């Protein structure tokens, strides 16, 4: 699946998008896999309450299932308007 990062999450991890092969069943499991990779991921995902997630461009929760999902995006709380 494609994993996208925005705002300071993108800056902390150092890239806007990457292809990830995973068997994670939920967003939370995917986050644990990413955190185990490298320090920059662990730093970006240190506080999940400061993050939001979208699955296939719809807002979701960290316990949402990943079955059938093609695009996951992680970002801080939005500041539009």
Partner 1 sequence: MRVVVQEAPFDFGGEAEAFAKGAAGAGAVVTFTGLVREADGGAMAVMEIEHYPGMTQKALEKIATEAIRRWQLTDALVIHRYGRLAPGDQIMMVATAARHRVAAFEAAEYLMDYLKSRAPFWKKEVLADGAAEWVAAKDVDEDALSRW
Residues contributing to the site for partner 1 (CB under 8 A): 4, 6-8, 54, 57-59, 71, 73, 75-81
Asked whether 27 and 66 are in contact (CB, 8 A), the reply is yes
Which C-beta is closer to partner 1: that of 19 or that of 23? 19
CB of 7 to partner 1, least distance (A): 4
Which C-beta is closer to partner 1: that of 14 or that of 76? 76
Which C-beta is closer to partner 1: that of 23 or that of 79? 79
The pairing of strands 17-19 and 2-5 is antiparallel
Tokens of 52: 């939001």
């Amino acid at each position: 699946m494609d994993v996208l990062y925005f705002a300071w999450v993108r800056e902390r991890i150092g890239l806007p998008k990457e292809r990830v092969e995973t068997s994670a069943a939920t967003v939370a499991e995917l986050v644990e896999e990413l955190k185990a990779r490298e320090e920059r991921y662990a730093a970006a995902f240190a506080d999940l309450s400061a993050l939001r997630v979208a699955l296939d461009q719809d807002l979701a929760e960290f316990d949402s299932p990943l079955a059938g999902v093609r695009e996951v995006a992680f970002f801080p709380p939005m500041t539009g308007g």
